Structure 1
Amino acid sequence: MATAPIQFPPPVDSAKEFVGPPTDPEDERIEVGVAIVGGGPAGLACAIRLSRLLAEDEALLESLGEVPIALVEKGKGPGSHLLSGAMMKPSAMQKLFPDLSEEDWPTYGTVPKDAVYLLPNRKRAIPLKPTPPPFRNHGNHVTSVAQLGRWLAQHAEDAGVYLLGETAGAKLLVDDGRVVGVRSGDKGRGRDGEELSNFEPGSDLIAKATVLCEGTQGHLTGAAIRHFDLGSEDPQQWELAVKEVWEVSRPLDRVIHTMGWPLQFAAKYREFGGSFLYPMGEDKVSMGLVVGLDYRDARFSVHDALQELKSHPLVAGVIEGGKRVAWGAKTLPSGGYWARPRRLWAPGMAICGDGAGMINVPTLKGVHYAMHAGMFAAEAIYERLKGAGACDDLSNYTAKVEGSEIETDMYRSRNMRQPFTRGFLVGGAIANMMEISGGRFPGGRWATHDDATVEVFIGKERDYPKPDGKKTFDKLSSVFTTGNATRDDAPNHIRLQDKVPLEVALMWQNMCPAQVYEVPEEELEAAKQNGNGKLDGRHEVKLQITPSNCVQCGAITAKGGRLTPPEGGDGPNYQVT
Structure 2
Amino acid sequence: MSAAPSQFPPPVDSAKEFAGPPTDAEDERIEVGVAIVGGGQAGLACAIRLLQLLEDDPELTESLGEVPVAVIEKGRVAGAHQLSGGVMNPSAIRELLPDDDSWPHYGEVKRETVYFMLNRKRAVPLKPTPPPFKNHGNYVVSVAEVNRWLGEKAEEMGAYVLTETVGAKLLVDDDKVVGVRTGDKGRDKQGGEKGNFEPGSDVIAKATVLAEGNWGHLTGAALKVLDLAPKDPQVWALGVKEVWEVEKPFEKIVHTLGWPLRASGKWKEFGGSWIYGMNRDGETPKVSIGFVTGLDYTDARFSVHDVLQEFKLHPLVKKILEGGKRTAWGAKAIPEGGYWAMPTLHAPGMVIAGDAGGMVNVPKLKGIHYAIESGRLAAETIYKQLKAGSSDFSAYEKDIYASEMGKELYESRNMKQPFARGLIVGGAITNAMVVTKGRFPGGHWATHRDSESPLKLGTGREKRYPKPDGKYTFDKLSGVFLTGNATRDDAPSHIRIQQRVPREVGEGWAWMCPAGVYEVPEDAPEEGMIDLIVNPSNCVQCGAITAKGGRLTPPEGGDGPVYQIT
Instruction: Give me the TM-score of the superposition, normalised by structure 2.
Output: 0.98
SS of equivalent to 1:230: coil
Q: Where does residue 328 of structure 1 map in the other structure?
A: 330
Cα-to-partner distance string for 1:10-37 (whole Å, 9 max, x where unaligned): 1111111100110011111000000000
1:148-168: per-residue Cα shift (whole Å, max 9, x none)? 111000000000000100001
> Which residue pairs with 1:548 in the alignment?
537
Instruction: State the partner residue of 2:87.
Output: 87
> Does residue 561 of structure 1 match 2:562?
no
Q: Is the 8 A contact 1:111 1:140 kept in 2?
A: yes
- The Cα shift of 1:224 comes to 0.7
Query: What is the aligned partner in structure 1 of residue 45 from structure 2?
Result: 45
1:314 Cα deviation from its structure 2 partner: 1.1
Match of 2:21 in 1: 21
Q: CA deviation at 1:359?
A: 0.3
Aligned to 1:430: 429
Q: Contact 1:82 / 1:574 at 8 angstroms: preserved in 2?
A: yes
1:403 alignment counterpart: 402
- Contact between 1:8 and 1:560, CA under 8 Å: does it hold in 2? yes
Map of 2:279 onto structure 1: 281
Q: How far did residue 77 of structure 1 move? A: 1.2
State the alpha-carbon separation in 2 of the partners of residues 13 and 219 from structure 1.
Answer: 11
Alpha-carbon offset, residue 100 of structure 1: 2.2
Deviations 1:181-226 (A, max 9, x none): 0001100000110100000000000000000001111111111111
Instruction: Determine the structure 2 residue equivalent to 1:575.
Output: 564
Distance 1:461 1:356 in 2: 34
Q: RMSD between aligned alpha carbons? A: 0.9
Contact 1:556 1:563 in 2 (8 A): yes
Alignment of 1:204-353 (within 5 A): 204-281=202-279, 283-341=285-343, 343-353=344-354
One-letter identity of the residue aligned with 1:557: T
Q: Which residue of 1 aligns with 2:412?
A: 413
Asked whether 1:127 is paired with 2:125, we answer yes
Contact persistence 2:499–2:533 (CA under 8 A): no
Partners of 1:376 and 1:397 within 8 A in 2? yes
One-letter identity of the residue aligned with 1:208: K
The structural deviation recorded for 1:437 is 1.8
Preserved contact between residue 2 and residue 504 of structure 2 (Cα < 8 Å): no
Distance 1:301 1:422 in 2: 21
Q: Runs (4+) of structure 1 moved beyond 4 Å?
A: none
Using structure 1 for the length normalisation, give the TM-score.
Answer: 0.96
AA paired with 1:455?
A: P
CA–CA distance in 2 between the matches of 1:309 and 1:280?
20
Q: Look up the SS of the partner of 2:10 in the other structure.
A: coil
Matching residue within 151, 157, 160 for 1:159: 157
1:345-375 Cα offsets, whole Å, 9 max, x none, are: 0110000000101000101101000100000
Q: Does 1:496 align with 2:516?
A: no
SS in structure 1 of the partner of residue 331 of structure 2? strand
Residue 269 of structure 1 contacts residue 296 of structure 1 at CA under 8 Å; is this kept in 2? yes
2-structure distance, mates of 1:39, 1:380: 19
Q: Secondary structure at the match of 1:47?
A: helix
Structure 2 residue 383 is matched with structure 1 residue 394: no
**Partner Cα distance (1:575, 1:311) in 2:** 26
Name 1:64's counterpart in structure 2: 64
Q: Deviations over 1:45-75 (max 9, x none)?
A: 0000000101110100000000000000000
Task: Give the deviation of 1:436 after TM superposition.
Answer: 2.0
Task: Name the SS for the 2:455 alignment partner.
Answer: coil
Q: What secondary structure does 2:107 align onto? A: coil
Instruction: Please name the residue that 2:440 is paired with.
Output: 441
**For 1:203, which of 201, 204, 224 is the aligned residue?**
201
What code does the residue aligned with 1:381 have?
I
Given that residues 302 and 461 in structure 2 are in contact (C-alpha distance below 8 angstroms), is that contact kept between their aligned partners in structure 1?
no
SS in 2 for 1:182: strand
Q: Provide the rounded CA distance (Å) in 1 between the counterparts of 2:224 and 2:247.
A: 50
Q: How far apart are residue 134 of structure 1 and its match?
A: 0.6
Moved more, 8-17 or 561-570: 8-17
The corresponding residue for 2:471 is 470
Indicate if the aligned counterparts of 1:208 and 1:390 stay in contact, CA closer than 8 A. Answer: no
Identity within the alignment, %: 64
What is the CA-CA distance between 1:461 and the residue it aligns to?
Answer: 4.4
For residues 444-498 of structure 1, the C-alpha deviation after alignment (integer angstroms, 9 at most, x for no partner) is 0000110011111012242211111121110011100000010011101100113
Shift, 1:172, TM fit = 0.3
Q: Tell me the distance in 2 between the aligned counterparts of 1:508 and 1:452.
A: 11
| 1:402/1:433 CA distance change after superposition, 3 Å | same
1:533 alignment partner in structure 2: none
Q: Which amino acid aligns with 2:366?
A: K
Between Structure 1 and Structure 2, how many residues are aligned?
560
Q: CA deviation at 1:94?
A: 1.1
Partner of 2:366: 365
Structure 2 spans left out of the alignment, 5+ residues: none
Q: Which amino acid aligns with 2:185?
A: K
In 2, the alpha carbon distance for the partners of 1:255 and 1:489 equals 43
Cα deviation for residue 429 of structure 1 reads 1.1
CA contact (8 A) 1:245 1:326 kept: yes
What is the distance in 2 between the residues matched to 1:159 and 1:100?
14
Letter in 1 for 2:474: F
Shift of 1:2: 4.1
